[in-house]
Structure 1
Amino acid sequence: MNNTKRILLFGFALFAGFFGAGNLILPPLLGYNSGPDWWLVAIGFLITTTVIPFLSLFGHAKLQGTMLEFGNKVSPLFSLIYCIVMYLIIVALPAPRTAAVTHEMAIAPIFGTSAIWTSLVYFSLVFLFVINRSKALNILGKYLTPIIVIMVLLIIILGLVSPTTGMNPSIFETPLVNGLLEGYQTYDALAGMVMGGVIIISLNKNNSFSYSEKKRIIAKSGFIAMFGLFIIYAGLISIGAFYNGEFPSDITRTDLLLGLAVKTLGNIGATFVSVLVGLACFTTAVAITVSIADFFEALFNNNHKVYVITSVICCLTGIIVGSYEVGFIIDIALPALMLIYPISIVLIILNILPDKYASAIIFRLVVIITLIFSIPDFLQYLLPKDTLKPVTDNLPLAGLNLGWVLPAIIAFIIGNLITKIKPRLDS
């Protein structure tokens, strides 16, 4: 296989791994709620769903190891704990959510079966794909992803050219920030750190690639995946906004996507979207499970039994959590995302910077500060309302759930100034 073909294959496989349940159901409701401000929401959403994930793939291109490499400069122990916590979150929330969305949009409307049966069959099929790992990326890249792309683009194009009624005004006070934070729910930044590892492992199985070749393949395949996501996210947000006058104010995410499909494609639209949702969710569940099993297999000296055991645990967890409603899974994810996302963003950015600006001391300082100032965002979803109001009122951007941003930037600047000035003073 030549490198061009390999880049396209990995690019489509990455896209399929990223593009799952949240990527389909979140953008339309964002557009619906933002109305004329949809473009501001889109900018915020695209920062956390395409820009930062793309940077995470660049981090993998530079590090060319497992996800442990992202946090090793803080300390190996921190990196291990961080990776385990992240994988626990991914196993317990986004992977099962793919089954829940598939049930609500594709299975329940047609067959009326219970969610537990959908989840059981769904993750049994996921397991079959995962234990045939060598074939999984080929199937995702060659067959399923092109079908998904064609289906979504058809809905978007027909939605943009069809006449609509006037738009309702935005319900957001800070649409750009609302879009940025809603992007957390796609898990795309975390997926970038996870999926990049899958590509590295796949390339390492072929020992003929040099460091620079692997770097180029990862960067180019990452661009293909992120460009595809960019087009689809912007399209789904825009048609959600253009049609927001045609749906009730209390419409759910899944019902809105189904409604948009019916508006653009007619009665066949619901069936069309059901197939789309099932494919998109399934590819993501397979990619997530493969990446987690890869990580633990590498952690235990490439013991294949660990790969199989991890896959079983992931699928069993998916069966249980995936039987709950989509809204419930999204709601319980918020506290965890408010804590893990800021640390992940900081690790991604630090790892792509030149080493002279991101020494081990800088890593430790910025990550510790980010963790401390993320705690209020985490706790506000667990404590009674207004408990932390004195903190959020006095901490810049805390009211927007971004209280960690300025402290992290200040820590980075001061840390670099000290490390540059101290040697001169000592001399």
Structure 2
Amino acid sequence: MSKTKEILVTAFALFSLFFGAGNLILPPLLGFRSGELWWLVTLGFCVSAVLIPILGILAHAKLQGTLFNFGKKVSPTFSLVYSFLIYGISISLPSPRTASVTHEMAVQPFFDSPAIITSIVYFLLVFLFVINRSKILDILGKLLTPGIFLILLLIIGTAVFSNEFIFGDTVFESPFSDGILEGYQTFDAIGAIVVGGVIIISINLKKKQATYEEKKALIRKAGWLAGLGLLLIYAGLILTGALLHGKFDPDITRTALLKGISAETLGNTGNLLLSILVSLACFTTAVGIVTGTSDFVKERFKGSQQAYVITAIIGCLLGIAMGQFDVGYIIVVALPALMFIYPITIVLILLNVLPELFASARVFKAVVITTIVFSIPDFLGSVGLEDSMVGLYNYIPLGRFSMGWVLPAVGIFVFINVFEQKLSAS
């Protein structure tokens, strides 16, 4: 396989592992509600759903290890707890959500069958893919992703070229920060450190003789290409939602809006093509999550294939159990976990991308601890204690935007680096 083809296959595989249920249903409604400020919402959304995730892939290219390596500089114990939290959240929420979206948008319109049947069949197929570990990169990169990409471009292109650029009013008070917070719901930053590990192991299985630098270059190039693909699709879906603002009820749900958009753009074939799109996009993400979790547990148990298979079974059973719930319910349940774990994930990604000179063990510890402390108010607010947090938000910069951790984390990062430079100079 030529180097260019290898980069493209890896980039397509990365894109499909990222692009799942949330990536498909969140942007159109965001655009629908953003009005003339769709571009500002897009910028915010792409910070948390494109830039940070791709930096996560670049961090993987640098580390070439597992998720455990991301937090090791804080402490091995922290890293182990963090890893289990990430994988626990991933197989309990975003993975089952893919089955729920598939049922609502690809099965229910055609068959009057219960959600539990969809979840069982869906995760049986996921399990078959996960067990065939060595073939995942080629199957995703060569077969499934081109289909996803083509249908998405068809929907977006038709909407953009057949509608006048007339927008409604925005419902967002803070479009940029609202876009960032909605990007949390894609799980893409978490996805980056989970599926990045899948890509690393897949490349190691295929390119056993490749050097560290060769693998690093391949992952970096594929990561930027996948990021460009995500940027184009997200911006296109948000713009599509904004352009079609007058054609649907203001209180429309995420899934209903996506169905409506596909019917508006693709006509009578819209439902069928959307069903194929949803099935492919959701399925590839579920495969990536269960594979990543199984890979991690296998590594912790010294390469035990039995541990890999047992984890895959548990991941699929959890998917069946949670996948029968409504999409909206899963999104609401996920919010508190995201408000707590996402900021920690973002700072770990950024610190691992930085040169060693600016990211010592002391910096890691100080920044992560600060982030955890200042994420607590946002977490408490997301579980229904928002009224009691109002006074606290007034004292924390950006607190009222649910990003109170940002400036304290940046401040402590700068302070520790200046402190260490003075120590080394004395």
Same fold per superposition (TM over 0.5): yes
Moved over 4 A (4+): none
- 1:226 is the counterpart of 2:227: yes
Q: Distance in 2 between matches of 1:217 and 1:403?
A: 36
Which residue number in structure 2 is paired with residue 361 of structure 1?
362
The residue identity in structure 2 corresponding to 1:402 is M
Q: For 2:172, what is the secondary structure of its paired residue?
A: coil
Which residue number in structure 1 is paired with residue 186 of structure 2?
186
- 1:316 is the counterpart of 2:317: yes
Larger displacement relative to structure 2 (271-280 or 95-104):
271-280
Q: Distance in 2 between matches of 1:154 and 1:9?
A: 21
Q: Distance in 1 between matches of 2:154 and 2:219?
A: 29
- 1:237 is the counterpart of 2:238: yes
Q: How far off its partner does 1:164 sit?
A: 4.9
Unaligned stretches of 5+ residues in structure 2: none
Q: How far off its partner does 1:204 sit?
A: 2.3
Q: How far off its partner does 1:364 sit?
A: 0.1
Q: What are the superposed Cα offsets for residues 178-197 of structure 1, whole Å, 9 maximum, x if unpaired?
A: 11110000011111111111
Which residue number in structure 1 is paired with residue 117 of structure 2?
117
Q: What are the superposed Cα offsets for residues 366-407 of structure 1, whole Å, 9 maximum, x if unpaired?
A: 000000000000011223440111111221111100000000
Give runs of aligned pairs for residues 103-252 of structure 1, distance below 5 A: 103-164=103-164, 166-205=166-205, 206-252=207-253
Q: How far off its partner does 1:119 sit?
A: 0.6
- The answer on whether the counterparts of 1:203 and 1:209 sit within 8 Å (CA) in structure 2 is no
Q: Distance in 2 between matches of 1:36 and 1:190?
A: 30
**CA shift in 2, pair 1:46/1:8, >3 Å:** same
Q: How far off its partner does 1:108 sit?
A: 1.0
**CA shift in 2, pair 1:226/1:172, >3 Å:** same
- 1:303 is the counterpart of 2:304: yes
Give runs of aligned pairs for residues 337-416 of structure 1, distance below 5 A: 337-416=338-417
Which residue number in structure 2 is paired with residue 80 of structure 1?
80
- The answer on whether the counterparts of 1:7 and 1:220 sit within 8 Å (CA) in structure 2 is yes
Q: How far off its partner does 1:263 sit?
A: 0.7
**CA shift in 2, pair 1:385/1:346, >3 Å:** closer
Q: For 2:126, what is the secondary structure of its paired residue?
A: helix
Which residue number in structure 2 is paired with residue 43 of structure 1?
43
The residue identity in structure 1 corresponding to 2:228 is F
Q: How far off its partner does 1:68 sit?
A: 0.9
Q: How far off its partner does 1:225 sit?
A: 1.0
Q: Distance in 2 between matches of 1:293 and 1:2?
A: 30
Q: Distance in 2 between matches of 1:68 and 1:324?
A: 31
Q: For 2:325, what is the secondary structure of its paired residue?
A: coil
TM-score by length of 1: 0.98
The residue identity in structure 2 corresponding to 1:80 is L
- The answer on whether the counterparts of 1:165 and 1:245 sit within 8 Å (CA) in structure 2 is no
Q: For 1:301, what is the secondary structure of its paired residue?
A: coil
Q: How far off its partner does 1:4 sit?
A: 2.4
Q: Distance in 2 between matches of 1:243 and 1:165?
A: 10
The residue identity in structure 2 corresponding to 1:144 is L
Q: For 2:273, what is the secondary structure of its paired residue?
A: helix
Q: What are the superposed Cα offsets for residues 264-315 of structure 1, whole Å, 9 maximum, x if unpaired?
A: 1112212211111011101111111111111111111110001100000000
Larger displacement relative to structure 2 (109-118 or 381-390):
381-390
Which residue number in structure 1 is paired with residue 34 of structure 2?
34
Q: What are the superposed Cα offsets for residues 156-203 of structure 1, whole Å, 9 maximum, x if unpaired?
A: 000001135843200001111111110000011111111111121122
Q: How far off its partner does 1:223 sit?
A: 1.3
- The answer on whether the counterparts of 2:339 and 2:382 sit within 8 Å (CA) in structure 1 is no
Q: For 1:73, what is the secondary structure of its paired residue?
A: coil
**Percent of counterpart pairs with the same letter?**
53
Q: For 1:39, what is the secondary structure of its paired residue?
A: helix
The residue identity in structure 2 corresponding to 1:49 is A
- The answer on whether the counterparts of 2:28 and 2:237 sit within 8 Å (CA) in structure 1 is yes
Q: Distance in 1 between matches of 2:238 and 2:257?
A: 12
Q: How far off its partner does 1:139 sit?
A: 1.0
- 1:71 is the counterpart of 2:71: yes
Q: How far off its partner does 1:110 sit?
A: 0.9
Q: Distance in 1 between matches of 2:321 and 2:195?
A: 24
The residue identity in structure 2 corresponding to 1:242 is L
The residue identity in structure 1 corresponding to 2:284 is T
- The answer on whether the counterparts of 2:184 and 2:338 sit within 8 Å (CA) in structure 1 is yes
Q: What are the superposed Cα offsets for residues 35-74 of structure 1, whole Å, 9 maximum, x if unpaired?
A: 1000000000111111111111110111111111110110
Q: Distance in 2 between matches of 1:58 and 1:14?
A: 12
Q: For 2:108, what is the secondary structure of its paired residue?
A: helix
Q: Distance in 2 between matches of 1:396 and 1:341?
A: 18
Q: Distance in 1 between matches of 2:418 and 2:159?
A: 52
Q: For 2:397, what is the secondary structure of its paired residue?
A: coil
The residue identity in structure 1 corresponding to 2:129 is F
- The answer on whether the counterparts of 2:15 and 2:227 sit within 8 Å (CA) in structure 1 is yes
Q: Distance in 2 between matches of 1:8 and 1:346?
A: 29
The residue identity in structure 2 corresponding to 1:42 is T
The residue identity in structure 2 corresponding to 1:123 is F
Q: Distance in 1 between matches of 2:263 and 2:202?
A: 40
- The answer on whether the counterparts of 2:20 and 2:284 sit within 8 Å (CA) in structure 1 is yes
TM-score by length of 2: 0.98
Count, aligned residues: 425
Unaligned stretches of 5+ residues in structure 1: none
**CA shift in 2, pair 1:213/1:165, >3 Å:** closer
The residue identity in structure 2 corresponding to 1:372 is V
